[in-house]
Amino acid sequence: MSTLSSTVQITATSPAPAETALDAVPELVAAAVAAGQRWAATSRADRAGVLDAVADALDAAGDDLVPLAMAESHLPEGRLRGELQRTTFQLRLFGEVLREGAYLDVRVDHADPAWPMGAPRPDLRRTQVPLGPVVVFAAVNFPFAFSVAGGDTASALAAGCPVLLKAHPGHLRLSVATADVVRGALTAAGAPDDLFTLLVGDEAGRAALTDPGVQAGAFTGSTVGGRTLFDLATSRPVPIPFFGELGSVNPVFVTRAAAEARGPEIASQAVASFTLGVGQFCTKPGVLLVPEGSSVLEALRTAELPGAAPMLSDRMVSGHNRVRHELEELPHVSVLARSADGEDATPGPTVLLTDVASLLADVEELFRECFGPTLLVATYAGEADLLALAQAIDGQLTASVFGEESDVPALGELVTVLGTKAGRLLWNGWPTGVSVTYAQQHGGPYPATTAPSTTSVGTAAIDRFLRPVAFQGFPQALLPAELRDAAALPTRVDGTLQRPGATA
């Protein structure tokens, strides 16, 4: 029996869902506002239980949802089942975050008539409250983990915010089916009606983002699309925060010592990383820097590259092929290795070759994201070239350094510079594969994201949808529960962090 909550089973051959009527958007937002007020007043423990219920429902619906995802995304079953597991894991992880409570960053300063600043300190108590309704724009390349019930939805709901989810056109039937599961689970778990709303169509998404009742936006996708939405969010009469992840080149710096010690190994790993998922990861390594004459080059030249494989959509194919062609036409760029393209123009993995001098002379044209299975290798003469390029590039999600222990004393400046350019630095590791955990940082300076101080993956993602509020001099009965004396959660009291149950 189907576990989907809709009365009609959705299949890959079902009619495409109709777009949300523009005149319906204000009513949908108003309903979300009302639901958000009730949801924000729900206890942390109850919200955690609801997230667990959504995760359970999605797990139970896997046999319905995965075939839909396969049909619409062209991704293999194993990849999609793993992604669904990641999706439900992060819902449950945010439930743990709610139960523990440290995300509220509670601070209590008791009144102190002798406060050394020269005036008495009042009783001040600070916590965080939900922003309000969030419009989430689903991504295409992760039909579960960055889509309807993905990280943005999970973290916004955990923060206490209702979600209006703008479905991605690349998997509309899956979006409707997943939304049915989510809404059914929310209702069964006792969550407010209209806590989660699915929107279909670009115009409906824009209308929701500019509706006065919406308080934030979240997006994963292209630089052009993300910047357009960011500009809409910030040009409203009352601007709102917009958390956009817009893409990245994710450079990989290989020292001479590392290339000499394990060049073929690095080449093999590079191929596995830039072709993973047909190169359709925002963390795909796009530029690989290796020393001139390195064995990495010969290993890449003779590597057995995978064959052409279906991409997410025809739009992804045309976008990749356009950028690859533009790169190939540039002076000082040649083809190092390539698999044959498919007859339908589906791209075969391609390794292009240039040098750092050419890259530095035309950073804007050469150092760019090619979303798909293409890697640009740039050779360098001396280690100073690595630092020069690091200083020249713009914001990135990741930057990787492959080196040996003997390199460590000389790499401090390079790592320092890369720390100003990227949100996550990797030592002898490839950027594909973003663990959902407590210390993860998936963000970076513009144009990687529109909000470099935040992350869209990991438990800190909840911070995006909260804002701090301080209560001064209030009686206990009027304070939020976490600000009352003896609240059972981590609290910074008069400057000292205290944890429930901790011993001196």
SS3 471: strand
Q: Which residue has the tokens 């790592």?
A: 415
Q: Which residues contact 286 (CB under 8 A, 6 or more apart)?
A: 248, 249, 250, 251, 274, 368, 369, 370, 374, 375, 376
**Rounded CA gap, 224 and 246, in Å?**
8
Structure tokens at 287: 């530029």
Structure tokens at 110: 């008791």
Q: Is 328 a catalytic residue?
A: no
Angle subtended by helix axes 44-60 and 77-100, to nearest 10:
170
CA triplet 276, 280, 284: central angle to 5 degrees? 65
- Cα 163 to chain centroid distance, Å, stands at 16
Closest CA to 344 of 316, 304, 306, 325: 316
- Phi-psi map region of 15: left, alpha, beta (phi>0 left; psi -120 to 50 alpha): beta
Strand pairing of 106-109 and 124-130?
A: antiparallel
Q: Which residue has the tokens 């793993």?
A: 82
Query: In angstroms, what CA-CA distances link 473 with 28, 118, 335, 347?
Result: 38, 19, 69, 65
Question: How many Cβ atoms sit within 10 Å of the Cβ of residue 8?
Answer: 9
CB contact at 8 A, 464 and 216: yes
Closest CA to 254 of 404, 433, 396, 425: 404
Query: In angstroms, what CA-CA distances link 36 with 30, 137, 151, 162?
Result: 10, 19, 19, 5
**Rounded CA gap, 147 and 137, in Å?**
8
Q: Which of 83, 161, 282, 482 is catalytic?
A: 282
Strand pairing of 466-472 and 124-130?
A: antiparallel
Q: Which of 245, 369, 370, 482 is catalytic?
A: 245
Q: Is 282 a catalytic residue?
A: yes
Question: How many Cβ atoms sit within 10 Å of the Cβ of residue 38?
Answer: 14
| Radius of gyration of the chain measured on its C-alpha atoms | 25
Q: Which residues are catalytic?
A: 245, 282
